[in-house]
Amino acid sequence: MTPSWRKPAGMLIILAIIAVWCVAVVSLSGVVGQWHWALQLPFYIVTGIVWIAPLKPLLRWMETGHWR
pLDDT confidence band for 39 (50 / 70 / 90): very high
Q: Where are the domains of the chain?
A: 15-61
Q: What is the mean pLDDT of residues 23-32?
A: 94
Which pTM does this prediction carry?
Answer: 0.77
- DSSP letter (8 states) at residue 35: S
pLDDT of 15: 95
pLDDT of 4: 82
Q: Average pLDDT over the chain, rounded to whole?
A: 91
Q: How far is CA 17 from CA 10, 14, 35, 36, 60, in A?
A: 10, 5, 26, 28, 16
**Amino acid present at 44:** Y
DSSP-assigned letters across all residues of 4-64:
PTHHHHHHHHHHHHHHHHHHHHHHTHHHHTTS-HHHHHHHHHHHHHHTTTTHHHHHHHHHH
